[in-house]
Structure 1
Amino acid sequence: MVARSSEVRPSAVRHNASPGAGRRRRRGAGRVAGLGLGAVALLVTLTGCDVGAAFGGFGWPQGGITPESRRMYDLWIASCIAALAVGVFVWGLIFWCVVRYRKRGNELPVQTRYNLPMEFLYTIAPILVVSVLFYYTAIVQTDVNKESANPDVTVEVVAFKWNWQFNYRDGQGEDANTVASVLGTSEVIPVLVLPTERSIRFEETSRDVIHSFWVPELLFKRDVFPGKIRNSFEVSELLQEGAYVGRCAELCGSYHAFMNFELRVVSPERYEQFLAAKQDGRSTQEALQSIGEEPLATTTKPFDTRRTASNFNPDNAPAGAGS
């Protein structure tokens, strides 16, 4: 009968273990423990500083102006740090094995069939990592997509080829009334004025094709669908006053690139003054000037659409003339 063992000892050029083998194994275990402690120390160190700013957000846009955008940013940075910690640990193990078990003369290391603790580790560890990431992703996603019953401000975003209309509403849904409106033209960029310290719901609809409402600092990019579909999302508040460029992020036709707007964030008091000026019949530019804001967009400007120029068929070209 042959005894069962997890080791297969080669019969050729195999020598008895030397007296120092135990010490070498203990040193190897110490190195592994050192790598693990180093990875933990690295993780603790990285989480204690602004790693995102140091590494450009690891590809994630920075400068979010809503609590939702910052929660998404924090989740991304934490995921990158966790991935780096796991990567450093795995790379350390690989390099340690390369050095520790490199060939030394004709002596072969012990040949193992299996290692239950190691197999258990690399089976359970990925499941735990994925479970933790899934849990926090679900928590942040649910929080970001949450909508309140009665937001402080409701704006209807109406997209059309190729511009925007922003309707300030007195309630939610299609049955609500528009109390003021901002309409963009080819010559004037539409300016959407919103307050800080207020919850804001965006209800989106399109007059023709699919567009996409995108303000990079909001970290929201939501499609705007035609028909009866009203895509909506909500931000709990805007944290910082300023002017922020907005764009259509869906290829919607010939003048898609010209479809810009500007988000102007002001204090709640100035927002109420702006809304009152619009309700009194003033234009958007006059209402902006009444609260001390620039009357025209400052983050973008109208493109030269060249719609009135004969660019491809000059009027004075003779029939049949070629270049």
Structure 2
Amino acid sequence: MRSISRRLLLLPIAAGVVLALSGCTTDQLHGYLPGFIDGQAPATNQTQRVSDLWVGSWITLLAVGVITWALIIWAAIVYRRRRGQTGLPVQLRYNMPLEIFYTVVPLILVLGLFAFTARDQSIIETRYEKPDVTIDAYGKQWSWDFVYADTANLDNSVYDQGVQAEPSDPGAAGTGFVEKTIPTLYLPVNRKVEIQLRTRDVNHSFWVIDFLYKKDMIAGQTNYWDFTPTRIGTYEGKCAELCGEYHSRMLFNVAVVSQADYDAHLASLRAQGKIGSLGTEYDKVDGSAGGSQNTGDEVGSSNTRLRNERNGN
């Protein structure tokens, strides 16, 4: 009889949960994370996985919170001091079942959250054996270089070199910031992409907000990010590692386009003469970064040349 009453009690609770979830919007179902649009695919093949981990973790934590709050309120009401009572209530020093419960349950929760996180991270961090597109992304104070690598012949690679940020008047303080064109990384939709992440100076971090993932760019080290963009659109990106005075201006865009538009973009870079592999020759001199060749003056002159090219001079 008791089991029947419990089932009857659980039925309205389950029905309420189902109704609540069915009435949720896309934003609510994904924990108000970016990267999702009603009726369209997620931004990448990994976006849904990150969202599921995020939402599942919050549901678990909220359930624990509700149970904890309920027990605290229940104990405060049931065991409150009543009128006419004097002295102290009966003191319980040890209760082994409760001690075991309070130890085992949190341990299970922590291990469970760790296991799901490790599983998803392992999947996300797995590199493609044969990516369709390989791109070298270089972070620099305070812009980005993108090299669309031809793995069969590096001499056929093309690149887009961003203009580094500079004060409007290097000789005066507080004169503002030179506005620059935000560099755009082009990616073909539904193609396996591998981005090789490097830095030309200090540590940076490559973050595409709607992709729900970021990777650090460590001096002297190459990191890899493999994914498949699954929805055409333009997405905002930024550096997520404090990297100097104009860190907040170290922005970029990601344009996920059709294969035809992607090929047309590469052709336009080739027509501009931006052919070849743009490697470490523009790195800032820093012995701790593993050896780069250019001096600060060479980087500055290259920066000026790039700005003049953009201005048509």
Q: Aligned residue for 2:206? A: 213
Moved more, 115-124 or 45-54: 45-54
8 Å Cα contact 2:35/2:47 also seen in 1 = no
Inter-partner Cα distance in structure 2 for 1:44 and 1:119: 34
Identify the match of residue 191 of structure 1 among 174, 184, 189.
184
Give the secondary-structure state (helix, strand or coil) at the position aligned to 2:46. Answer: helix
Q: Which residue of 1 aligns with 2:133?
A: 153
Candidates 226, 232, 243, aligned match of 1:234: 226
Contact 2:35 2:211 in 1 (8 A): no
Contact 2:203/2:216, CA 8 A, preserved across alignment = yes
Give the letter for the 1:203 counterpart.
Q
1:216 Cα offset (Å): 0.9
Q: Distance in 2 between matches of 1:34 and 1:131?
A: 33
Q: Which has the larger radius of gyration?
A: 1
User: Aligned in 2, Cα 1:92/1:177: closer, same or farther, shift over 3 Å?
Assistant: farther
Q: Which residue of 1 aligns with 2:66?
A: 88
1:53 aligns with 2:53: no
Per the TM alignment, residue 194 of structure 1 is displaced from its structure 2 partner at its CA by 0.6
For the 8 Å contact 2:30–2:51, the answer to whether it is kept is no
Contact 1:46 1:81 (8 Å CA) reproduced: no
Residue 111 of structure 2 is matched in structure 1 by 131
Match status 1:263 vs 2:254: yes
Percent identical among aligned pairs is 37
Q: How many angstroms does 1:40 deviate by?
A: 7.2
Q: Is the 8 A contact 1:69 1:219 kept in 2?
A: yes
The CA deviation at 1:112 is 4.1
> What is the identity, as a one-letter code, of the residue corresponding to 1:157?
A
For the 8 Å contact 1:180–1:278, the answer to whether it is kept is yes
| Structure 1 counterpart SS, 2:111 | helix
Change in CA separation of 1:189 and 1:111 when aligned onto 2, cut-off 3 Å: closer
Counterpart residue number, 1:278: 269
Provide the rounded CA distance (Å) in 2 between the counterparts of 1:156 and 1:70: 25
Q: How many residues align?
A: 250
Task: Mark the runs of 5 or more structure 2 residues left unpaired by the alignment.
Answer: 1-5, 37-41, 165-179, 275-303, 305-313
> Partners in 1 of 2:148 and 2:18 — Cα distance?
47
The Cα offsets for residues 93-120 of structure 1, whole Å up to 9 and x where unpaired, read as 2212222222334568665444343333
Q: Does 1:223 align with 2:216?
A: yes
Counterparts of 1:49 and 1:210 in 2: how far apart (Å)? 44
For residue 153 of structure 1, report the CA deviation from its aligned partner: 0.7
Q: Distance in 2 between matches of 1:261 and 1:35?
A: 54
Q: CA RMSD in A?
A: 3.6
Task: Give the drift of 1:246.
Answer: 2.0
Name which of 169, 174, 199 aligns with 2:149.
Answer: 169
Map Cα deviations across residues 177-222 of structure 1 (whole Å, 9 max, x no partner): 5521112226432221111101111112222222222221122222
So what's the TM-score if we normalise by structure 2?
A: 0.67
8 Å CA contact 1:39–1:88 kept in 2: the answer is no
